[in-house]
Amino acid sequence: MCGLAGSLLSPDCSISALARVKEIFIANLLANEERGREATGVAACGFDGTFFVEKAAVPAHVFVKSEPFRRFMAQAIDTQTAIILGHTRDPTKGTTRNNLNNHPIIVGSTVGIHNGVISNDDEIFGELGQESAPAQRLGAVDSEAIMALFDRVTVIDDLHGFIQGVQGAVQLLAGSFTTLFFNTAAPQRLVCLRYDNPISSFFDIRLQTFFFSSRYLFLRKTFGRAAIARPMSARTGFIYEASSLAEYGGTPLAQFDL
């Protein structure tokens, strides 16, 4: 059991709203500490594809007080930021002492976070290792197999083709997962795949930001009755784009079966 926290920011998010988004992101990370206390990590991606990652084998309440995290929040998140991800880890495979096993996981151009257990990660890397451009496994965590498969989805610009690629990758996974990830080739696109593990979301029109959390109660306490909603559907993929938030609000740009 791990905790996921995420924010997707519209280009219309103001400087004053950004300050509040930062506060909520930190609170979201802390609220998810009860789901994983062994490691904490964050990532941010700008509209130009520049991304930053910071992580450490400490609980969230220690992590958010650290100098690396304060530097991350000051340098990585500004009005050009599209996506912020956070993860609190309860490890099932791969020691937290090796930071490559801690989330966010980076494979090529793909950066993501995962809650769940993949049982065939070794087999996936064995098969990828036999390809003409074999994937190099950097850590030991099962989540790396997810990002390795998604990084092999080469159709990025065509949304329909991208969805087909993601669906094909999911078919190769055995186990449980909910994941949030982005590809720096499409830096304002955030993909949420909920196979079975919990995740909830809420779009705040005032902040022009979409929030994701493994803890529905956090969203409910933060945003009040406006956050009352049905959980995100299981075995379903959702695609959101920062530049479309003003138009689509809480409605995904695309939704598809897993």
Q: What does the pLDDT read at residue 162? A: 97
148 and 138 in contact (C-beta within 8 Å)? no
Q: What is the CATH number of the domain that holds 182?
A: 3.60.20.10
Predicted confidence at residue 32, as pLDDT, reads: 98
Token reading at 156: 């990025």
* Residue 129, pLDDT score: 81
Reported as a single tens digit per residue, the pLDDT across 34-70 is 999 999 999 999 999 999 999 999 999 999 999 999 9
Instruction: Give residue-wise pLDDT tens across range 73-82.
Output: 999 999 999 9
Largest alpha-carbon pair distance within the chain? 53
Give the structural domain span for 49.
Answer: 3-257
- Domain count along the chain: 1
What does the pLDDT read at residue 132?
61
Please give the Cα distance from 140 to 99 (Å, whole number). 10
Amino acid 250: pLDDT: 82
Give the pLDDT score at 155. 95
Report the SS3 class of residue 107. Answer: strand
Average pLDDT over every residue of 178-189? 97
Query: What gap in Å lies between CA 160 and CA 186, rounded to an integer?
Result: 14
Nearest to residue 173, comparing CAs of 110, 121, 106?
121
**Band of pLDDT at residue 230, cut at 50, 70 and 90:** low
Please say if the pLDDT value at position 26 is more than 90: yes
pLDDT in tens, 127-162: 988 876 777 899 999 999 999 999 999 999 999 999
> Does pLDDT of 27 surpass 70?
yes
Q: Is the pLDDT of residue 223 over 80?
A: yes
Q: Provide the 8-state DSSP code for 100.
A: G
Please report which confidence band the pLDDT of residue 84 belongs to, taking 50, 70 and 90 as the band edges. very high
